[in-house]
Amino acid sequence: MQSVTRGGVPVEVGGEFPTVGDTAPAFTLTDGELKELSLSDFSGRRKVLNIIPSVDTRTCAMSTRKFNEYASGLDNTAVLIVSADLPFAQSRFCGAEGLDRVVTLSCFRHPEFRESYGVALQSGVMAGLCARAVIVIDEQDRIVHAELVSEIKNEPDYEAAIEALKS
C-alpha cells in the first residue's frame, strides 16, 4: 500500500496508481446534472484528470481555478475535475467562481474509481476521499503523465502536466 502525507502525517492510499504507458482504467463518474459519464465519453480527446479531495478546500479550489485557466489554451483536451464531492457542491463552486472550461465529475456513486486509479484515502480524517493527483491521458487512452502529490496540501506540478500534453 502506498501513502501520502497530510501535514506531514502519513495517510494510507489504496488501489494501484497508474504509471506512464499504462492504458487508463475505464471509469464511470457522475456529472453536475447527475448524468453518468465514462472515459469513453471523451474518446478521441486528450484528458487531464485533476483528482482532488474536495473543491471546498483551499488547494483544491486553487488547482481547479488553474486548470480552468489552462483549459482555455488546450485544443482537443477535456479537463476533468474529479472528487468525492456531491455534484451539487462541485457545480455550486464552479458557478460561483465562473469556471466554465472544466468538467466536474463525482465518484460519490462510484467509489471503485478511487481504487482503480490508486487514489483511495484509507486512513486519517480524510478517509473515503481522493488523494490529490494529476493524470494526463492521450487520445488513445494511454497515460502520458501521472503524479500522485506526496503532500495533500501541496499543489500539483502544473507545468509537467501541460508539458505532457505537448509531447
Point out the residues that are catalytic.
60
Query: How far does CA 81 lie from the centroid of its chain?
Result: 5
Q: Using the 8-state DSSP alphabet, how is residue 41 labeled?
A: G
Using an 8 Å Cβ cutoff, are 51 and 132 in contact? yes
* Maximal CA-CA distance, the chain: 40
Collapsing DSSP to helix, strand or coil, 114 comes out as: helix
**Beta-sheet strands, E only, within 84-163:** 103-106, 120-121, 133-137, 143-148
